[in-house]
Structure 1
């Protein structure tokens, strides 16, 4: 039965990639020419079609509503998608264009056939047997027909607004030649527009979008940058690693050149058609052709959100896209707004100023300073344009050099594995939180470290009472065994969720450790974690302030009425599962070491305005754990692993088990509950090869011809079964789960039959069984 199911999965996957990359054109099959020899010409109405797959076509076209004529290359399957234009600045007025090689084979010339005026030309070394050819990479080349693969000229060296696989951006350090892409002026005008994308070669390589001024000079303005290359992806675009198996990134930094490019990997049949384009509105997109829908699917766009706007928060500012729209910007620790009045008007470009001067001068030299470093976790590193880079230095050497330089304000590792050294001696700008971001070591005066909860605001009890109307019932959102949650409205109208921890539920150790645990929570930054905005630790009160999530918790949708369930369509549910996995993996393997969530469940996963998940309560569960185990159950019934339910053993693999239940509940629409009825059902359907019968019956079944979705759903359920294995050692780690969810080619073990013996119903009730769970689902 398993072999039949696996064969079915494989066929679906093959079918999906065949559809994705089904590009062979009728023109190619008919043998349309891909070459132009000396003595031949190409006139308006004629085309060259690339050999092999016939994916690309060279010819004359008129863009949009324009009647002007241009020579360009487009995707054969998408005739209006032109990626290269020869005569961008000099259009033809009519259909009189002629493309030819000149007599001595030293120029490729575009003529206006009526006036014999040269509209565009490319010069190269003369070759008696020169030939023009459109390759199936999309590259138009001139080569010497007598042999050899060397090109006399190629269109890939003169890109327009698009980067294809095999092209490059950057700079030759020998010749000074630069490769970049420039947007069209409008949909009807392919002449160079206002936006240009380049590879910055000062400091660490990073991609930069400019507006005006010629891309980096003459008054150009930086609009957006990707963050520096960290050895695997550009630091500010971690999502690129999700599709790096399909489109591997390539950055070359040598004495000869500093360049960036990417490939396209054939999984089944031809490699998928893809392009990176900077459009005339100033947005960079990665698009992939989907043959089944005959449309381009967007894999990425940048800028993505307000925090991608270059230097939005000014020097020493820190942008958080997960914060409320009125407060994206804050200051890094040890700094405050340079102009509070400007910040009050939401003009944050002036940035932040240091609170306490550094000690460098007082010590008579950097080597005797008392300054220390505060780690800013999970960020896109600052602009490295004026930073110094040493790829051979170690982390210890980097710290020592920074302390020894009175001008040094911060340092960081140059690559994701911790190697190399970047030192900033000027203001740091354009820092934001990102998933899988790097650590930035910020230099501060020793006295700045006296606040144990540095990194999140401390608010007084009077302020909390003010925004909740003195904990009025009118502001009450909900109540559970461990906390009461209120909606608070700040003076600027921004809503927050105020969680008031119950004194009766807090242990003595929890009360003592509150500030330290808050500091740990404040240091965790990931797009899938609910951000802690502030806390109150006054008298006997222990209060946490979070962003308010009007869409409430995931269980309100998964187990809610049909309209709410339908809002989470299958692809969205898969995206939610993947995002949750990444968030838990960050907790387990993040910069602060292993953090066990302890109570992962649907009601502790909130949904933001875009229905993206935010994991809540990842730091508070420890505050309710008694000094002696066995007195307070933290993990909710239905989510507890065997080793915890029976022996009170709490490990990272307990979270993995809970995640497996969350995954299966999200796809099935069925609560597992104390009797654990969902898990036996999932296993039976696995054995029968009928996994699609597990899907939420309130939702429409995926279309039979949607091979990609069917494959992803079955693979996801398979992963869920691996997570709920009886033995902790048989369960994958969260990083392995993320790899399986984000790559269809990663290998997966076969799950073992679980015991599924309704363990939770067999033991005596504990405190939280009676009191209920925490109420972050109401925030």
Structure 2
């Protein structure tokens, strides 16, 4: 019996140790092993997982790699073009040493295609996300095949996209065809090495986006600020040229994802988290779209006119976005150069590259060649510079903001265009220009007087048409005919009514093209009136940003005044976060992305828009959500343009919505970008809590939501502010940081509130140091019956004090 017991014990121990050994090899697949449906390989630190999956609604099976904590974040797919129609697929290492996927008939549907025979083949899933095939007896790091050499739609840290110069092989990203189909889609992301290397997004053979050339530290049209988080690199030698990146912190995961719509997103997440934030997305706006403004023009989303011909060029025709030279180049009569500062340089389609030339030498080389139309002197690496010269039309120039690495380019112009000659023809032309300007000024002055006179008598449609017609504005704000809007909305049928507010009713409609629209119809007894209508048309027509609602046009006919917008199927934010049932639709990831989208839109208004706009009515009902819950800031009827040097402006008429207005604005009528920051802070706390600031009630005190958040913060109980529906989906450190930033934004003194550029960094960077917030404004102002003492005080300080905007979402 003793011998039998000892034998049993030995067998048991051997079994235990064999399982321990297997657990250590959970990332390894040998010849005698396999992975089938329901089984996976997991990298040693449990960062990545490999197995079979079915994307979206598809029933097909694919072998893929994903983040273990985020199974939806698939980073690589093996059999993209050869799905398995059932669950009988198997991954194994063949006798010859290849990784193969077999279907139920044991036919090979995918292979690593390693030539020759491997004696000791083994596959391993590394913690970088790289699946490698190697000889188990070979040197570490020596791979026969690796998944990093065959990218799908995702670039991970350490992966390369670029060229093997010896074999001519190219590595690049290819989008999925759809969320249900990972086969190669329409878009690719690759390193273009035609001239200086630059990254491009192509749709088939058509270029849709380019970063601008590599300048040794980055690309011209890629944000520079995120380099505090990651380091981009372009390596060029005799064997290869490629782009790669590495994260600055080991505490984060990062991936570059080319989605099915052709947008490239850099996503970031904490180690171990399943929540991903968007660091940036390109194309960022319409100026990022390749050649948006045509030839010989500069695109700028910060200008009222997005597209503008380069000085010395004029529009080719009224309908064309291309520009042509006003005067032909003439090498014999003298020429010079116009300097454009801080731009993405033109596409390198017709160019010449000379290395190691300084700016003066580059200028000289361009002047020697009468066909040279522009030059630039770019840094390439290690302090070296290259001289780029362009020939022919200049395509895809755009201004870039200070967070990008713009370059200077010198455009060749005739001396006359630069004002370098003073011949008689120039003087005559100048005389004509002055004369025309005086006459035009007199006409404009007469029109202004006439408009004022007519406005004092009757607000007729002719008065307002002058606000939108003529010149470029007519193209920017298309005018819809009333009959067309009546057809689209079924004669403003009640069943198409989707909202109503201070402006008037809002209807859903369908244009003959099939496009869905939202129609805001100015009510005759609207308190907002024609002034706000005109203000919104003029402003929003000149603003282009992914997080601002798009104005499609307006209708001015008889007494009718309407604004036509893109339709937002998820209506406004307040319809979700304040609704007991619908709030479940918004997970923490949704709310995280919504907050960042609003912040980016507000940053554009405050900083990246050359007009510098203060919204003045930022609130949950003015944040619209598209089908993907992407937020769009709307309702610019109360917005104001301020000068770039104006830190604050004062008004005698305070307009806005109680609960969102900053103290200095509500009491003194003083507003600035920091007023919008206060409103953003209120909105941020509302999104986190699912509660309204105005009208908030707590059984233990009479404070509003800001006051409640402040009390919880001081008692180290800030997480209790979070909407209970988020408990399972949230990342608590992110929630805490959002509450912290929200309290910083609603501090009583405007000087204490951070600008939106700082807010965005604080929201997205876990390592950012956040100061302790001070007391918020209006946090203990609530008195019985739901009134604010501060508002009563305000009414004694201002005349015609408050206009409450209660426009509902569309």
**2:590 match:** 572
Partners of 2:52 and 2:511 in 1: how far apart?
A: 60
**1:687 match:** 714
> Once the 2 structures are TM-superposed, how far is the Cα of residue 679 of structure 1 from its aligned partner?
1.8
Partners of 2:191 and 2:25 in 1: how far apart?
A: 39
Whether 1:614 aligns to 2:606 is no
CA contact (8 A) 1:553 1:606 kept: yes
CA contact (8 A) 1:360 1:370 kept: no
Partners of 1:170 and 1:86 in 2: how far apart?
A: 22
Partners of 1:552 and 1:176 in 2: how far apart?
A: 50
Partners of 1:426 and 1:390 in 2: how far apart?
A: 20
Taking structure 1 as reference, are residues 631 and 769 closer, same or farther at Cα in structure 2, changes over 3 Å only? closer
For 1:155, which of 146, 150, 157 is the aligned residue?
A: 146
> Once the 2 structures are TM-superposed, how far is the Cα of residue 171 of structure 1 from its aligned partner?
1.9
**1:457 match:** 474
**1:634 match:** 655
Structure 1 unaligned residues grouped into runs of 5+: 1-24, 102-106, 212-220, 323-329, 341-351
Whether 1:205 aligns to 2:198 is yes
CA contact (8 A) 2:584 2:725 kept: no
For 1:670, which of 687, 692, 706 is the aligned residue?
A: 692
**2:13 match:** none
**2:234 match:** 252
**2:791 match:** 760
Taking structure 1 as reference, are residues 273 and 528 closer, same or farther at Cα in structure 2, changes over 3 Å only? closer
**1:343 match:** none
> Once the 2 structures are TM-superposed, how far is the Cα of residue 589 of structure 1 from its aligned partner?
1.7
**1:325 match:** none
Report the count of equivalent residues.
Answer: 676
**2:448 match:** none
CA contact (8 A) 1:500 1:543 kept: no
CA contact (8 A) 2:50 2:66 kept: no
CA contact (8 A) 1:456 1:534 kept: no
Per-residue CA distance 1:543-585 (angstroms, 9 max, x = gap): 86544546554334444x4344444444433322221111111
Partners of 2:736 and 2:617 in 1: how far apart?
A: 26
Report the secondary structure of 1:361's partner residue. coil
Report the secondary structure of 2:726's partner residue. coil
Partners of 1:640 and 1:713 in 2: how far apart?
A: 24
Report the secondary structure of 1:634's partner residue. strand
Whether 1:179 aligns to 2:171 is yes
> Once the 2 structures are TM-superposed, how far is the Cα of residue 532 of structure 1 from its aligned partner?
3.9
> Once the 2 structures are TM-superposed, how far is the Cα of residue 411 of structure 1 from its aligned partner?
10
Query: Within 5 Å, which residues of 2 pair with 1:209-224?
Result: 221-222=205-206
Per-residue CA distance 1:197-222 (angstroms, 9 max, x = gap): 542222442144575xxxxxxxxx45
Per-residue CA distance 1:131-161 (angstroms, 9 max, x = gap): 98858353637699797x7848663674364
Taking structure 1 as reference, are residues 631 and 466 closer, same or farther at Cα in structure 2, changes over 3 Å only? farther
Partners of 2:631 and 2:227 in 1: how far apart?
A: 21
Which of these two proteins has the greater Rg computed from alpha carbons?
Answer: 2
> Once the 2 structures are TM-superposed, how far is the Cα of residue 85 of structure 1 from its aligned partner?
6.7
**1:718 match:** 740
Partners of 2:528 and 2:67 in 1: how far apart?
A: 66
CA contact (8 A) 2:662 2:678 kept: yes
> Once the 2 structures are TM-superposed, how far is the Cα of residue 597 of structure 1 from its aligned partner?
2.3
Report the secondary structure of 2:543's partner residue. coil
**1:169 match:** 161
> Once the 2 structures are TM-superposed, how far is the Cα of residue 529 of structure 1 from its aligned partner?
1.6
Whether 1:656 aligns to 2:677 is yes
> Once the 2 structures are TM-superposed, how far is the Cα of residue 633 of structure 1 from its aligned partner?
0.9
Structure 2 unaligned residues grouped into runs of 5+: 1-18, 419-432, 445-466, 697-701, 782-789
**Which moves more between the two structures, 715-724 or 296-305?**
296-305
Taking structure 1 as reference, are residues 152 and 315 closer, same or farther at Cα in structure 2, changes over 3 Å only? same
Partners of 1:459 and 1:31 in 2: how far apart?
A: 63
CA contact (8 A) 2:189 2:199 kept: no
Query: Within 5 Å, which residues of 2 pair with 1:488-499?
Result: 492=512, 494-497=517-520
CA contact (8 A) 1:506 1:624 kept: no
For 2:725, which of 701, 719, 725 is the aligned residue?
A: 701
Partners of 2:271 and 2:183 in 1: how far apart?
A: 30
Taking structure 1 as reference, are residues 313 and 192 closer, same or farther at Cα in structure 2, changes over 3 Å only? closer
**2:773 match:** 751
Query: Within 5 Å, which residues of 2 pair with 1:412-431?
Result: 425-426=392-393, 428=395
Partners of 2:690 and 2:342 in 1: how far apart?
A: 41
Taking structure 1 as reference, are residues 721 and 397 closer, same or farther at Cα in structure 2, changes over 3 Å only? farther
> Once the 2 structures are TM-superposed, how far is the Cα of residue 661 of structure 1 from its aligned partner?
1.5
For 1:555, which of 554, 562, 574 is the aligned residue?
A: 574
CA contact (8 A) 2:314 2:323 kept: no
> Once the 2 structures are TM-superposed, how far is the Cα of residue 390 of structure 1 from its aligned partner?
9.3
> Once the 2 structures are TM-superposed, how far is the Cα of residue 681 of structure 1 from its aligned partner?
1.7
> Once the 2 structures are TM-superposed, how far is the Cα of residue 359 of structure 1 from its aligned partner?
0.5
Per-residue CA distance 1:56-101 (angstroms, 9 max, x = gap): 899999x99999xx9x9967968x9895879999x9xx99997689
Taking structure 1 as reference, are residues 613 and 301 closer, same or farther at Cα in structure 2, changes over 3 Å only? closer
**Which moves more between the two structures, 435-444 or 149-158?**
435-444
**1:586 match:** 604
Taking structure 1 as reference, are residues 568 and 391 closer, same or farther at Cα in structure 2, changes over 3 Å only? farther
CA contact (8 A) 1:413 1:422 kept: no
For 1:136, which of 126, 136, 159 is the aligned residue?
A: 126
For 2:327, which of 344, 357, 360 is the aligned residue?
A: 360
Per-residue CA distance 1:393-445 (angstroms, 9 max, x = gap): 99999999999988869999999xxx998968448479999999999999999
Report the secondary structure of 1:763's partner residue. helix
When normalised by structure 1's length, the TM-score is: 0.61
Report the secondary structure of 1:171's partner residue. strand
Partners of 1:411 and 1:679 in 2: how far apart?
A: 53
